């Protein structure tokens, strides 16, 4: 059944914000273990899971990871194992449900869905149009991005999960606990996020010289060739 307009929020303000920060969120208080990531017995009968956005040998200041005590999500989900998705809506809002929470993305905003994350997209305004790019390791260089919060509601349902790996798609049908998000809690810095392009403020120099072009960059996706993005 297609979603009704009443299924979507009127305001778009329930986010965490920051730049290069470490975030956490709980749908149920106490679901996130304190002081350690993988206790012998996780709270609420959950099991521990970590997803890494970088190699475990990467320097600590460059390490990207997200730890969660895990459950599962919605009737239909997609996961891209080949790279990050950069989505730029041009017409109509996107209501994106990710493992870490929900993101409402409007024209004039961009959203990053990291490699390996499951998500589903609903269209509150009907047909939508925009751009989707598959990139590697998108970096936010300027501005404050917004990160999702967890909220819980759900029931049991059959879930079809579609995976893209090495350019090929395959389906997996699971009967899992259907919730508004997959997780009850998470913490880390490898998380989907969105950015409002109207908050980006470029600058101009007119006295002697011009600044480095990177100062006018919002997002960059490095290539395999050093120094080229």
> Which range, of 40-44, 67-71, 157-161, 175-179, averages the lowest pLDDT?
175-179
Phi/psi for 41 (5° steps) reads -125, 115
> In whole angstroms, what is the distance from residue 224 CA to residue 229 CA?
9
Q: How high does pLDDT run on average in the chain?
A: 75
130-172: pLDDT as tens digits:
999 888 766 665 557 888 888 765 554 556 677 777 776 665 5
74-105: pLDDT as tens digits:
567 888 888 889 999 999 999 998 888 889 99
Catalytic residues: 210
Q: Do 89 and 109 form a contact (C-beta atoms < 8 A)?
A: yes
Cα–Cα distances in Å, from 103 out to 37, 61, 174, 207?
A: 26, 27, 24, 42
Q: Is 0.85 surpassed by the pTM of this model?
A: no
């Amino acid at each position: 059944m297609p979603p009704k307009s009443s299924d979507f929020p009127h305001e778009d303000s329930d986010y965490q914000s920051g730049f290069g920060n470490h975030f956490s969120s709980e749908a149920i208080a106490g679901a996130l273990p304190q002081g350690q990531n993988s206790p012998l017995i996780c709270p609420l009968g959950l099991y521990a899971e970590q997803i890494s956005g970088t190699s475990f040998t990467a320097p600590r200041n460059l390490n990207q990871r997200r730890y969660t005590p895990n459950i599962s999500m919605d009737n239909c989900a997609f996961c891209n194992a080949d790279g990050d998705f950069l989505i730029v809506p041009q017409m109509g809002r996107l209501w994106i449900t990710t493992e870490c929470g929900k993101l409402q993305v409007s024209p004039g905003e961009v959203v990053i869905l990291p490699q390996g994350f499951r998500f589903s997209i609903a269209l509150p305004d009907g047909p939508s149009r925009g751009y989707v790019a598959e990139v590697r390791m998108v970096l936010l260089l300027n501005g404050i991005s917004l990160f999702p919060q967890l909220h819980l509601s759900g029931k049991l349902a059959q879930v079809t999960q579609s995976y893209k790996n090495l350019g090929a798609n395959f389906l997996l049908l699971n009967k899992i606990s259907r919730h508004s998000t997959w997780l009850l809690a998470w913490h880390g810095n490898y998380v989907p996020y969105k950015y409002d392009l109207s908050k980006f403020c470029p600058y101009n120099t007119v006295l002697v010289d011009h600044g480095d072009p990177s100062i006018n960059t919002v997002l960059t996706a490095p290539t395999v060739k050093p120094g080229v993005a």
